Amino acid sequence: MAYYVNRNIKMTWWERSYIPEIIKGMWLTSRRFFYNLFGFIPFFLGTEKDRRIMTVYYPEEQVQYPIAYRGRPVLAQNEDGQPACVACGLCEIACPAYCIHIEPGQNSGKQNQYERWPDVFNIDYAICIFCGNCEEACPEEAIFMSDDCEISMLDRKQMLYTKEQLLTPVADLQKRIEFTRNMYAKWNY
């Protein structure tokens, strides 16, 4: 399909003289320049907190991610140090990328003990697609998407996180837990 450019645009005499339009453009850019320049100086003197430029010096400065942000999935750890997970395997099934591997452990009939728990719980972040399906599938509020997205490694094998690395205290996840309750309540699970 061919495009035809209309090169016979009628311009006014003012536009054709070109110079006023150039000055208009330069006025805009130089205004931006001075605005940002004078935003920089108080920032470096320390009198002003913002420097008027939104760009973030990434590793030194970090932005707060919104609570809906899906970072790497983590396992919730109860106050007594045990994972909230019951090793039902629903997240394993829900995972579209097959990055979760669970080997369940269960008690031998003792009283006052957890009935089921995961002996092995591995998530391979090299495969994970951060879809959040595991969080949605979990019936026990045990797996949550955190706001951590800095999981680059020098070796692919290091991307395989074990249960000990995944466990995160429930207290740190409280906001996300409330968010998921609100979120998934809408569909009446």
Partner 1 sequence: MWVDLLITLVKILFVFAVTVGFFAPVLTWVERKQSALMQDRIGANRADIMGFTALGLFHIIADALKMFTKEDFIPDGANRVLHTISPIIALVPALLTFAVVPFGGHYNLFGKDVHLVISDLDVGLLFVFAIASLATYGYVIAGWSSNNNWSLLGSMRTASQMISYEVTMGLTIIGVLMVYGSMKLTDIGAIQENFWMWGIFLQPVGFFMFLTASIAENKRIPFDAPEAESELVAGYFTEYSGLKFGMFFMAEFIEMVTIGAIMTILFLGAWHIPFLSSATLLSWFDFLGTTGSNLVLMLIHVGVFFAKVCFFIWLQMIIRWTLPRFRYDQIMKLGWKILLPLSLANILVTGLVILALN
The residues of the shown chain that bind partner 1, judged by CB under 8 A, are 19, 22, 25-26, 28-30, 32-33, 36-37, 40, 44, 53-55, 57
Least Cβ distance, residue 30 to partner 1 (angstroms): 5
CA proximity to 128, closest of 164, 156, 154: 156
Identity of the residue, 31 or 156, whose beta carbon is nearer to partner 1 in the bound complex: 31
Nearest residue (CB) to partner 1, 43 versus 130: 43
Which of 22/67 has CB closer to partner 1? Answer: 22
Nearer to partner 1, 58 or 189 (CB): 58
Separation of alpha carbons 135 and 43, rounded Å: 42
At its nearest, how many Å lie between partner 1 and the CB of residue 188? 46
Could you list the beta-strand ranges (E) of the chain. 73-77, 100-106, 116-124, 143-145, 160-161, 167-169
Q: Shortest approach of partner 1 to residue 148 CB, angstroms?
A: 24
Decide whether 25 or 139 has the Cβ nearer to partner 1.
25
CB of residue 152 to partner 1, shortest distance in Å: 18
Burial of 123 (0-12, 13-18, 19+ CB in 10 A): buried
Please state the length of the chain: 189
| Alpha helix stretches (DSSP H) within 55-162 | 90-94, 133-137
Phi, psi angle pair for 105, to nearest 5°: -125, 150
**DSSP symbol at 17:** T
